[in-house]
Chains A and B, each alone.
Chain A
């Protein structure tokens, strides 16, 4: 069964244009000019229940705008969205009970409160009883190993501890779909690996659908079987990670050896996924070289 279905989704932002300097500022006051930026342009895809999907693209490609439309934060200009059969533009509150969100760049926790108090607040937000909230906090606290800092104010936590708490807060009501927008941004490799394992465990045990955006290829390789790449608001690739590797054989290796196995199968490329993704970004006219 499909958890997410998106058809021909689009969103345009109107951005003010201003020429440089003070003169430009005065001119903008007298003759304001705006430019339309098509952030999402006719995007269609579906995600199956329990699937872990990587939704990636270069900066400004439309990933966050898409995720915000799927979660009911932004209104689309056109197209159709269904998340667990609910249209976010019409039944945002009903949908909110069914989904969880983690935005790595935006804290959703109250920084002056402890994680425990934050989780109690989340429990109230999702209409859980005191007992249900306590049980869920205990369960998630054990799974995410929060015992050592659950009563420390969030502002005093390390980034890794905070992200773990953000994820726990988003899971308090057992969401069926979890939207993760760059959840491992700024984390060290050990903490990243830890977070990935926890996400995998959650997907396995609670059959949670994961919709992930990340610039970290490690997140994609370790978590997702399927990848959607967007660029300039449009989908440029929708494929399995494994097949993607087969489609983009290592040109350097090609010169030295064949990819045909004895059984006649094409072996996956030895080229790192990160380089394949960079090639796709570049081929769409985006220069992503450092």
Chain B
């Protein structure tokens, strides 16, 4: 590993560590945020338990597949918001001219920006996701695949948010659209893909990348398919490259700002 990459990793780890330290300043808020997120997720999953007692499957998914779907979504979404939370609020930084502090550092701007914030409740999402997958009785190979797909899911969620957020370099008020599309993506990711057909299915694979982030990984976990695994990996790399290119292209249009502000 080159010295530059090592140094960048050292800064990223310190950044994430300091973010978590900030969130832990108030221990009660920290623990209740994490705990309530686990409870929230569990409450919604209870509805699936009831539904799947009434019928054998929904869209080809039994309770085990539903748990894998939820586990993978929660773990990926959680990890993305623990490590790269700022990618999900990028328009606020761009429109508010708050990228200056990152641009004067001798580090990769994109990595420094997206690792500069952490969501506390996401720790609850991540723990819940891992717990759910643990309850699915996965073998060693399946666990390794599940962890790999948690990483690819994290990358796809983050890269997609980054791509939408980068549009703010060209158009104002993209924050509203970004928030809605990303939350919509997460909502779709908690339903079996078998219930979507035609255009909606096409959209979920090629426009809003839920298919690559969650559906295909669940299919691979249930029944191993090397081509599908490679497709997911390739898509994660491609989307990351496109999003990073959009960010750097947009950065040339960055207008900074003169509003008073603090790095909190």
What is A's interface to B at a CB cutoff of 8 Å?
A: 13, 16, 64-65, 68, 71-75, 92-94, 96-97, 99, 101, 103, 105-113, 117, 120-121, 124-127
Check B100–A97 contact: CB distance below 8 A.
no
Interface centre among B21, B99, B103, B108, by most chain A C-beta atoms within 10 angstroms, is B103
Task: Determine whether B47 belongs to the interface, using a CB cutoff of 8 Å to chain A.
Answer: no
Interface 1/0 per residue, B13-37 and A, CB below 8 Å = 0110010011001000000000000
Contact of B258 among A64, A110, A124, A125 (CB under 8 A): A64
Q: How many A-B residue pairs have CB under 8 A?
A: 83
Task: Determine whether B59 belongs to the interface, using a CB cutoff of 8 Å to chain A.
Answer: no
Check A106–B107 contact: CB distance below 8 A.
no
Check B106–A94 contact: CB distance below 8 A.
yes
- Interface locus among B75-83, B156-164, B193-201, B249-257: B249-257
Check B104–A96 contact: CB distance below 8 A.
yes
26 contacts between A and B (CB under 8 A): A68-B256, A71-B103, A73-B100, A73-B103, A73-B254, A75-B254, A94-B106, A103-B100, A105-B261, A106-B100, A106-B101, A107-B262, A108-B104, A110-B18, A110-B22, A110-B263, A111-B263, A111-B264, A112-B18, A112-B22, A113-B18, A113-B21, A117-B18, A121-B14, A125-B11, A127-B3
Check A106–B255 contact: CB distance below 8 A.
no
Contact of B264 among A65, A112, A126 (CB under 8 A): A112
Check A68–B100 contact: CB distance below 8 A.
yes
Task: Determine whether B7 belongs to the interface, using a CB cutoff of 8 Å to chain A.
Answer: yes
A26 and B256 CA atoms in complex are apart in Å by 27
A103 and B22 CA atoms in complex are apart in Å by 23
**B252 CB contacts on chain A under 8 angstroms:** 75
Task: Determine whether B141 belongs to the interface, using a CB cutoff of 8 Å to chain A.
Answer: no
Asked whether A105 and B258 contact (CB < 8 A) given A93-B106, A112-B21, A113-B21, the answer is yes
**A124 CB contacts on chain B under 8 angstroms:** 7, 10-11, 14
Task: Determine whether B260 belongs to the interface, using a CB cutoff of 8 Å to chain A.
Answer: yes
Main secondary structure, interface of A, reads mixed
A127 and B6 CA atoms in complex are apart in Å by 10
What is B's interface to A at a CB cutoff of 8 Å?
A: 3, 7, 10-11, 14-15, 18, 21-22, 25, 99-101, 103-108, 172, 252, 254-256, 258, 260-264
Check B103–A127 contact: CB distance below 8 A.
no
Check B263–A107 contact: CB distance below 8 A.
yes
Asked whether A92 and B103 contact (CB < 8 A) given A107-B261, A121-B14, A124-B11, the answer is yes
A72 and B263 CA atoms in complex are apart in Å by 19
Contact of B106 among A68, A112, A126 (CB under 8 A): A126
Contact of B7 among A71, A73, A127 (CB under 8 A): A127
Contact of B101 among A74, A108, A127 (CB under 8 A): A108
A126 and B104 CA atoms in complex are apart in Å by 11
Check B106–A125 contact: CB distance below 8 A.
yes
A103 and B102 CA atoms in complex are apart in Å by 13
Contact of B260 among A96, A105, A120, A127 (CB under 8 A): A105
A126 and B263 CA atoms in complex are apart in Å by 19
Min Cβ gap B174→A in Å is 15
Min Cβ gap B41→A in Å is 28
Chain B residue with Cβ nearest A68: B256
A238 and B22 CA atoms in complex are apart in Å by 46
Asked whether A101 and B104 contact (CB < 8 A) given A13-B255, A112-B21, the answer is yes
**B105 CB contacts on chain A under 8 angstroms:** 96, 125
A15 and B104 CA atoms in complex are apart in Å by 25
Chain A residue with Cβ nearest B108: A93
A101 and B256 CA atoms in complex are apart in Å by 15
Min Cβ gap A257→B in Å is 44
A20 and B260 CA atoms in complex are apart in Å by 26
Min Cβ gap A96→B in Å is 4
A112 and B260 CA atoms in complex are apart in Å by 18
Min Cβ gap A118→B in Å is 9
Interface centre among A92, A120, A124, by most chain B C-beta atoms within 10 angstroms, is A124
Chain A residue with Cβ nearest B257: A106
Min Cβ gap B104→A in Å is 5
Asked whether A106 and B14 contact (CB < 8 A) given A72-B103, A73-B104, A97-B106, the answer is no
Contact of B18 among A72, A105, A121 (CB under 8 A): A121
Asked whether A74 and B25 contact (CB < 8 A) given A94-B106, A109-B263, the answer is no
Check B256–A108 contact: CB distance below 8 A.
no
Check B11–A112 contact: CB distance below 8 A.
no
**A96 CB contacts on chain B under 8 angstroms:** 104-107
A128 and B255 CA atoms in complex are apart in Å by 31
A13 and B257 CA atoms in complex are apart in Å by 11
Give me 9 other A-B pairs in contact (C-beta within 8 A), A112-B21, A112-B22, A127-B7 excluded.
Answer: A64-B258, A73-B104, A92-B103, A106-B260, A106-B262, A108-B101, A110-B18, A111-B262, A121-B18
